[in-house]
Amino acid sequence: MNAEQSSGHSTQHEPETYDIAATERKWQPVWEELQPFRADDDSPREKRYALTMFPYPSGDLHMGHAEVFALHDVMARYWWQRGYEVLNPMGFDSFGLPAENAAIRNDEHPDTYTRANIARSIESCRTYAASFDWTRTFNTSDPDYYRWTQWLFLKFHERGLAYRKNSAVNWCPQDQTVLANEQVVGGVCDRCGAEVTKKELTQWYFKITDYAQELLDGLDDLAATWPDRVVTAQRNWIGRSEGAHVDFALHTVGGDRHVTVYTTRPDTLYGATFMVIAADAALAAEVVHPDRAQALADYLVEVRKASDIDRLATDRPKTGVDLGITATNPVTGEEIPVWASDYVLADYGTGAIMAVPAHDQRDLDFAREMGLPVRRVIDTGEDDPEETYVATTGNGTYVRSGELDGLTDKAAGIRTIIERLEAEGRGTGAVNYRLRDWLLSRQRYWGAPIPIVHCPEHGEVAVPEDQLPVTLPMLRGADLKPRGTSPLGGATEWVDTTCPTCGGPATRDTDTMDTFVDSSWYMFRFCSPHDTDRAFDPEKVDAWMPCHLYVGGVEHAVLHLLYGRFFTKVLNDMGLVGFREPWSAQLNQGFVINQGKKMSKSLGNGVNLGEQLETFGVDAVRLTLVFAGPPEDDIDWANMSPEGSVRFLQRAWRLSGDVTSDPGTDPASGDPALRRTTARALHDASALVESYRFNVMVAKVMELVNATRKAIDSGCGPADPAVREAVEAVAVMLSLVAPYTAEEMWHRLGHEPTVARAGWPAVDESLLVEDTVTAVVQVRGKVKARLEVTPDISEADLEAAALADPGVQRALDGGEVRKVVVRAPKLVNIVV
């Protein structure tokens, strides 16, 4: 569809043709003028905060953006129509690697690329008619924003929640920077897919583990309004387990010492026949017998060669070295050998385990490999693991377990052992989490500098708040090339500074923050985006938040969504916000795919959004995406029909030209049947939007359009007030999905812009009550008759009517009626 074609084909039969391109051009400037979606902090209306994950500014929008913005916009626009004051902001997560890499390639500054892309993105969004409040926009790479990112870092630092430690960290050789655990998926870099290696480095961390239990508990409430998969992913990621810390006496050459292990099965302590220490834990090197030190060192070399991918392979044979020392099993008093292996992780639990080969498959595999003893202490009725090499983990009767012998209850066994250990001072019940602290420093340029100065005298010194922001030095092109250390280190003038405490020479921290830090608090900033005195205005934040709906991709299930929750809890502890969860409800959209596969350059199956918009228009593309199916489902563009969407929009548009009654006509005297259809459509559409069934909502509008067409052509006629009522309802409902068409319809109906703020028509409840209802009569569950009855018919009357029906009588065929189930006024089922 384009303008030339339509005007060229105007005929006396179709004098009016809907010119999509012209309509888009017509209303855009009008909306710019009206600014119908500017959120007013002081509005007396009830507030709604509709947030969609702000994007990295990649330039033109693509199909994925188009989908999420279309879905999100349905809810934002619906809330406006229902009379809420809606905050629907948009900004850009504009720090990050793509801009930096582009700057290296093009020998420029990342900001140049970033700003150009942001301008294009905003333009695309405006054409797309997303109902964002552009007066609140910001970019996380602007000093006005990252100054507050730095301020928050300092607040965390004050509270001991930002700290530095040395440890083996994830290193992406491609991006030349460290990564948080959350950014490593299956051993590869989440961003670039390169195989992640380990590196021993001193890095900054946020102490998210302090909030592990609360992050977990909060999910119980969110489970009702968040997608299951996100809640599950976060639960898994936090990975709470219950068990015990058990102390073992370790006999080393240098003397005895205690080592604590973490176990979820303290009840199997009698079956612990050896101990394993993580090979890369400092402890292993400390306790190893001198004769075995070389073997351990050799082994470590081997271990470090193995990539995460190798390490994650579950069928990988167990390896390890005997440390040449023994430990005392605290309940049996036995001396058991101590080994080092890479199947024990240094940074989980205590980095050391008690091995119970009979009841843990990993320990059994290791015992088998090394020829270590296996002792069954729970008889589950299955074959002995010692013979089958299959560890038994189920319930059974304790054997060879001292005071536990004869017990059959696992919980009781665990309780008994913990009580004994606690009484003897050899252990205690313990809870452990899989969640690790959040590694936030990055060795790249395009991020917020960490506002810390390192002083030879005073160590880590916070940059005073009044000296924020610590702005990035001007580096460009080759200066930004990754060298394994932060590019900021090369800016010596910037690095060399004075200690805020003593005034002596000192150096700035040269790492920048993970961009996930920027996005962990942006939802607060939107509430007072131009505040120059503070990160956000607590009063405004409490007025708008928590967000009533957060729409975005499920790929952030444990990254952004966990970090943002963590920040919110800390800010609440600091007294800056009045709530502990930032997003009350969440919706994940699916992907737009093509021909069954993810769109990609290599497959050559990409769909260009710009071309689709050019060909079908903004409204039709939006409509297609919303109508395609449930929002969470993937959309295969190859199965979609934007042509059909165009046709429907024209069909709807045409209705607006057929209405002959005047604006403001009282619909009360209108055709009752059409009025009921309209009322029903509005009523159903509300419920459907509120439950995110946007595709079904669109179907309801289509139904109303069809009914109205019929009423005009072969029913009450175009002059009937019910027709105007119906078409106006179509325009308002359509404004959630197809804003241009809806506006044009509204205009043709004789109204002033904008339909987007016209308000949801009030539904006359009496019109929702049907005069008659079709009652179904079943015999043996099969439909045998339909009766038109009043909605308030009594069960007895309905039963009598059903039994009197000739068709039913025939079906009964004289058989004996054993039971009659009546569900007035809809159904009767006769059991013979």
Partner RNA sequence: GCGCCCGUAGCCCAACGGCAGAGGCACACGGCUUAGGUCCGUGACAGUGUGAGUUCGAAUCUCACCGGGCGCACCA
> For residues 353-382, which are near RNA according to CB under 7 A?
353, 356, 360, 362, 365
Neighbours of 566 (CB within 10 A): 23
Q: Token pair for residue 562?
A: 């966990």
Q: Does 622 bind RNA (CB under 7 A)?
A: no
CA angle 407, 410, 412 (to 5 degrees): 65
Q: Does 628 bind RNA (CB under 7 A)?
A: yes
Binding RNA (rule: CB under 7 A), the pick from 21, 22, 185, 194 is 185
> For the chain, what's the residue count?
832
Would you say 252 or 263 has its CB closer to RNA? 263
C-alpha 580/C-alpha 567 separation (Å) is 9
Q: Token pair for residue 313?
A: 């392979």
User: Minimum distance from CB of 434 to RNA (Å)?
Assistant: 4
Q: 539-568: which residues touch RNA (CB under 7 A)?
A: 558
Binding RNA (rule: CB under 7 A), the pick from 120, 289, 311, 458 is 311
Q: Token pair for residue 64?
A: 């994925």
Would you say 531 or 632 has its CB closer to RNA? 632
Would you say 104 or 801 has its CB closer to RNA? 801
Would you say 112 or 615 has its CB closer to RNA? 615
Q: Residue 191 contacts by C-beta under 8 Å, 6 or more apart in sequence? A: 97, 172, 175, 183
Q: What backbone torsions phi and psi does residue 210 show, to the nearest 5 degrees?
A: -60, -25
Would you say 585 or 696 has its CB closer to RNA? 696
DSSP one-letter string for 219-239: HHHHTTTS-HHHHHHHHHHH-
Q: Does 11 bind RNA (CB under 7 A)?
A: yes
Would you say 316 or 483 has its CB closer to RNA? 316
Span interacting with RNA, options 60-68, 541-549, 561-569, 776-784, rule CB under 7 A: 776-784
C-alpha 694/C-alpha 631 separation (Å) is 7
Q: Token pair for residue 462?
A: 């916070």
Q: 699-758: which residues touch RNA (CB under 7 A)?
A: 699-700, 702-703, 706, 709-710, 713
C-alpha 90/C-alpha 622 separation (Å) is 18
C-alpha 460/C-alpha 825 separation (Å) is 77
Dihedral Cα 156, 160, 164, 168, nearest 10 deg: -100
Q: Token pair for residue 85?
A: 């004051």
Q: Does 314 bind RNA (CB under 7 A)?
A: yes
> What's CA 117's distance to the chain center, in Å?
25
C-alpha 653/C-alpha 659 separation (Å) is 11
Q: Does 770 bind RNA (CB under 7 A)?
A: no
Q: Does 604 bind RNA (CB under 7 A)?
A: no
Q: 62-101: which residues touch RNA (CB under 7 A)?
A: none
Q: Does 351 bind RNA (CB under 7 A)?
A: yes
Binding RNA (rule: CB under 7 A), the pick from 25, 105, 165, 647 is 647
Binding RNA (rule: CB under 7 A), the pick from 71, 414, 640, 737 is 640
Binding RNA (rule: CB under 7 A), the pick from 197, 501, 695, 790 is 695
Q: 192-231: which residues touch RNA (CB under 7 A)?
A: 228-229
Span interacting with RNA, options 11-19, 445-453, 468-476, 514-522, rule CB under 7 A: 11-19
Q: Does 823 bind RNA (CB under 7 A)?
A: yes
Q: Does 792 bind RNA (CB under 7 A)?
A: no
- Preceding omega of 177 cis (within 30 degrees of 0): no
Binding RNA (rule: CB under 7 A), the pick from 21, 122, 696, 767 is 696
Q: 258-297: which residues touch RNA (CB under 7 A)?
A: 261-265, 278
User: Minimum distance from CB of 176 to RNA (Å)?
Assistant: 24
Q: Does 675 bind RNA (CB under 7 A)?
A: no
Span interacting with RNA, options 216-224, 329-337, 543-551, 646-654, rule CB under 7 A: 646-654
According to DSSP, the residues that pair with 586 across neighbouring strands are 550
DSSP E strands: which ranges in 208-310?
A: 241-252, 255-263, 274-278
Specify the 3-state DSSP secondary structure of 756.
Answer: helix
User: Minimum distance from CB of 398 to RNA (Å)?
Assistant: 17
Number of residues that bind RNA (CB under 7 A): 89
User: Minimum distance from CB of 14 to RNA (Å)?
Assistant: 5
C-alpha 176/C-alpha 487 separation (Å) is 11
User: Minimum distance from CB of 350 to RNA (Å)?
Assistant: 7
Binding RNA (rule: CB under 7 A), the pick from 693, 718, 719, 757 is 693
Would you say 58 or 307 has its CB closer to RNA? 307
C-alpha 176/C-alpha 484 separation (Å) is 5
User: Minimum distance from CB of 207 to RNA (Å)?
Assistant: 17
C-alpha 247/C-alpha 525 separation (Å) is 48
User: Minimum distance from CB of 97 to RNA (Å)?
Assistant: 22
Would you say 122 or 185 has its CB closer to RNA? 185
Q: Does 348 bind RNA (CB under 7 A)?
A: yes
According to DSSP, the residues that pair with 245 across neighbouring strands are 262, 428
User: Minimum distance from CB of 348 to RNA (Å)?
Assistant: 4
Binding RNA (rule: CB under 7 A), the pick from 25, 774, 800, 810 is 774
What does DSSP say about strands 335-341 and 85-87: parallel, antiparallel, or unpaired? unpaired
Q: How far is CA 527 from CA 141, 293, 502, 541, in A?
A: 18, 59, 38, 6
- The amino acid at residue 331 is V
CA atoms within 13 A on the CB side of 572: 16
- Preceding omega of 449 cis (within 30 degrees of 0): no
Is the separation of the CB atoms in 464 and 519 below 8 Å? no
Q: 416-455: which residues touch RNA (CB under 7 A)?
A: 432, 434
Q: 315-334: which residues touch RNA (CB under 7 A)?
A: 316, 318
Q: Any idea which residue has 């602007």 for tokens?
A: 142
User: Minimum distance from CB of 780 to RNA (Å)?
Assistant: 6
Q: Token pair for residue 381?
A: 């009725």
Binding RNA (rule: CB under 7 A), the pick from 32, 298, 419, 643 is 643
Span interacting with RNA, options 22-30, 500-508, 513-521, 644-652, rule CB under 7 A: 644-652
Binding RNA (rule: CB under 7 A), the pick from 31, 132, 206, 648 is 648
Q: 224-243: which residues touch RNA (CB under 7 A)?
A: 228-229, 232-233, 236-237, 239, 241, 243
Would you say 367 or 462 has its CB closer to RNA? 367
User: Minimum distance from CB of 347 to RNA (Å)?
Assistant: 8
Q: Does 665 bind RNA (CB under 7 A)?
A: no
DSSP state, 772? -
Would you say 332 or 485 has its CB closer to RNA? 332
* Three-class secondary structure assignment of 417-462: HHHHHHHHCCEEEEEECCCCCEECEECCCCCCECCEEEECCCEEEE
Would you say 6 or 197 has its CB closer to RNA? 6
According to DSSP, the residues that pair with 588 across neighbouring strands are 552
Binding RNA (rule: CB under 7 A), the pick from 41, 144, 460, 636 is 636
Q: Residue 224 contacts by C-beta under 8 Å, 6 or more apart in sequence? A: none
According to DSSP, the residues that pair with 432 across neighbouring strands are 241
Q: Does 597 bind RNA (CB under 7 A)?
A: no
User: Minimum distance from CB of 279 to RNA (Å)?
Assistant: 11
Q: Residue 335 contacts by C-beta under 8 Å, 6 or more apart in sequence? A: 251, 326, 327, 328, 329
